[in-house]
Structure 1
Amino acid sequence: MKIRVSAVQYPLKTIQNIDEFKLYIEHYIKTAKEFNSEYILFPEFLTTQLLSIGDEEGKAFPISYLPRFTNDYQQFFSKMAGQYQVYIIGGTHITERDGHLYNTAHLFHPDGKMDTQDKLHITPTEFYDWNIKAGDKFQIFEAGKLKIAILTCYDIEFPELSRMARAKGADIIFCPSCTDDRHGFHRVRYTSHARAIENQIYVVLTGTIGSLPTVDFMRANFGQAAIITPNDLGFPMGGMLDEGMINQDMIITADLDFELLQKSRQSGSVSTWQDRRLNFYERV
């Protein structure tokens, strides 16, 4: 079985209204469908672009304003998933529950179903400057032929979550990210490769590019999409199926081969999942 996936290097830029945002998003979905993609990944903090619309005085909305766009965001992406018959990981959007803000990834199904996964590890900027709360529930989603996990940016830097995802049957981790400099970018990129090797799974990663000059903490973005494999015979050298050009407006697409993945797990050069010494780890 092969599955085609696309990842969008989404360029943040100031917009005038929500219709402009929707126009840009549909453009990338149409592009992915022209390549016959079945799954499309957008980056973390995708909807911070809506903050640049601003108030009557031209001042950007604060992060706490984003939940007011939740219904529009969810309805629009649900419509796109149904209209184009594709699974969409719509990046992340700031949601509000019980008076708390959460950084929430959304998975939109072609049949209208919607799943959500809160970010589980919160960066200092999210916690101290944006008052975002960490989620406390981790799920694996059935999306068509696949079981997938969504680990948002900082979450991929914690190996325990990826181990849990593989143990629950996930074969792909989708990682929407947002990093503002090379240090942050490489932390997410290198650990994504580590998670693919450790767990013998695919990782689909992307990040924001561009800038929002009026939105605090979104003025700088450093990003690159990548479709990452285990490192073994049959897979591309370096475990890279495809990658974008850094900080360029573009979309990448590749086929994930699950027969090859299973073969690698059963008879590859190494068996990093099977060879775990769980009893030893517990003793130590």
Structure 2
Amino acid sequence: MKYRVAAVQYHLEDISSFEQFASQVTHYVRNASEYGVQFVLFPEFLTTQLLSIGDEAGKPLPIDQLPVFTEAYLALFRQLASEYNMHIVGGTHVVDVGGGKRQNTAHLFHPDGRVDTQAKIHLTPTEVEEWDMAPGDGLAVFETPYGTIAMLTCYDIEFPEIVRMARAKGADVIFCPSCTDDRHGFYRVRYCCHARTVENQVYIVTTGTVGSLRRVDFMRANYGQAAVITPNDIPFPPAGIMSEGDVNQDMLIVADLDLSLLDDVRKAGSVTTWRDRRTDLYTDWS
């Protein structure tokens, strides 16, 4: 099976209304549709842009006000997925989960109106100490007409076990929305994406925020680049990079994924890392 994906290097800048946010998101989806894509990925924390709208006194909104926009966020992405007949990983949005807890949650919008979610499982110190987030407590994979996918957000990809679990549950493509403020964080995520594709013989589609929210704490600096990353084997590019954007530029990238190539390398590649895992020595999460 083959299908086409796009990943958005979402440019953060201060705005004054939800309509401005909706207009920017719509622009990227419309642009992706011009390339005939079936999936488009937005980055982690793109909705923090809404905090820059501010309150009646002109002060930026605190993180605990971000869930106020959940209904509008869901309506916007549902409408775009339906209108453009596209699966959209709408980055992540901070949602209330009850008991005074919030989670940083990835959303998959299907063209038929369904919405799947995956809360971020591993949280960074900033998310815990500054934004009082709660971690997700389970991993799901999601069935689509284009196969099984998983959504693992930024820091999640740095833990080999969780990606192994996603592959054991049948995922061939991992969508990894990310948000990193400097090169150190960016390369941690990027290098781990490459490692996970080698270990599990999967595709990883990743992207990050670019630009700056000058009025929002912890979002004033962003260092991002979208990429579609493959196993390092003969059917794929030698460096494992099918497509990548220009660092810190407002743009999107497009690539075609061929799932049959994953089957080929798992069965008879130069190395067969998925088949050769030693389940007699360590856990097989399948």
**2:126 partner amino acid:** T
Query: Where does residue 28 of structure 2 map in the other structure?
Result: 28
Query: Where does residue 67 of structure 1 map in the other structure?
Result: 67
Query: Where does residue 205 of structure 2 map in the other structure?
Result: 204
**TM-score w.r.t. length of structure 2:** 0.98
Question: For the residues of structure 2 that align with 1:109 and 1:279, how far apart are their CA atoms?
Answer: 39
Question: For the residues of structure 2 that align with 1:6 and 1:145, how far apart are their CA atoms?
Answer: 14
Q: Helix, strand or coil for the counterpart of 2:117?
A: strand
Query: Where does residue 137 of structure 1 map in the other structure?
Result: 138
Q: Helix, strand or coil for the counterpart of 2:282?
A: helix
- Kindly report which structure 2 residues correspond to 1:138-177, keeping only aligned pairs within 5 A, or say none: 138-177=139-178
Q: Comparing both structures, which one devotes a greater share of its residues to helix?
A: 1
Query: Where does residue 240 of structure 2 map in the other structure?
Result: 239
Query: Where does residue 223 of structure 2 map in the other structure?
Result: 222
Question: For the residues of structure 1 that align with 2:176 and 2:5, how far apart are their CA atoms?
Answer: 13
Q: Helix, strand or coil for the counterpart of 1:233?
A: coil
Question: For the residues of structure 1 that align with 2:147 and 2:15, how far apart are their CA atoms?
Answer: 35
**2:218 partner amino acid:** F
Query: Where does residue 274 of structure 1 map in the other structure?
Result: 275
Query: Where does residue 88 of structure 1 map in the other structure?
Result: 88
Deviation (angstroms), 1:24: 0.4
Query: Where does residue 182 of structure 1 map in the other structure?
Result: 183
Deviation (angstroms), 1:278: 1.2
Structure 2: state its 5+ residue gaps. Answer: none
Question: For the residues of structure 2 that align with 1:260 and 1:101, how far apart are their CA atoms?
Answer: 39
Question: For the residues of structure 1 that align with 2:165 and 2:281, how far apart are their CA atoms?
Answer: 18
Q: Helix, strand or coil for the counterpart of 2:199?
A: helix
Question: For the residues of structure 2 that align with 1:128 and 1:202, how far apart are their CA atoms?
Answer: 33
Question: For the residues of structure 2 that align with 1:265 and 1:116, how far apart are their CA atoms?
Answer: 29
* 1:50 maps to 2:61: no
Question: For the residues of structure 1 that align with 2:281 and 2:153, how far apart are their CA atoms?
Answer: 30
* Identical counterparts, % of pairs: 59
Deviation (angstroms), 1:281: 2.9
* 1:249 maps to 2:264: no
Deviation (angstroms), 1:26: 0.4
Query: Where does residue 107 of structure 1 map in the other structure?
Result: 108
* 1:77 maps to 2:77: yes
Deviation (angstroms), 1:11: 0.4
Deviation (angstroms), 1:61: 0.1
Q: Helix, strand or coil for the counterpart of 1:263?
A: helix
**TM-score w.r.t. length of structure 1:** 0.98
Deviation (angstroms), 1:168: 0.4
Question: For the residues of structure 2 that align with 1:272 and 1:79, how far apart are their CA atoms?
Answer: 41
Question: For the residues of structure 1 that align with 2:82 and 2:271, how far apart are their CA atoms?
Answer: 41
Aligned residues: 282
Q: Helix, strand or coil for the counterpart of 1:121?
A: coil
**2:42 partner amino acid:** F
Deviation (angstroms), 1:237: 1.4
Deviation (angstroms), 1:137: 1.6
Query: Where does residue 265 of structure 1 map in the other structure?
Result: 266
Query: Where does residue 117 of structure 1 map in the other structure?
Result: 118
Query: Where does residue 5 of structure 1 map in the other structure?
Result: 5
Question: For the residues of structure 1 that align with 2:156 and 2:91, how far apart are their CA atoms?
Answer: 14
Deviation (angstroms), 1:161: 0.6
Deviation (angstroms), 1:280: 2.1
Question: For the residues of structure 1 that align with 2:119 and 2:235, how far apart are their CA atoms?
Answer: 35
Structure 1: state its 5+ residue gaps. Answer: none
Question: For the residues of structure 1 that align with 2:281 and 2:212, how far apart are their CA atoms?
Answer: 48
Deviation (angstroms), 1:258: 1.3
Please list the CA deviations of residues 44-70 of structure 1 after superposition, one character each: whole Å capped at 9, or x if unmatched. Answer: 001000000001221100000000000
Question: For the residues of structure 2 that align with 1:78 and 1:170, how far apart are their CA atoms?
Answer: 23
Q: Helix, strand or coil for the counterpart of 2:263?
A: helix
Q: Helix, strand or coil for the counterpart of 1:213?
A: coil
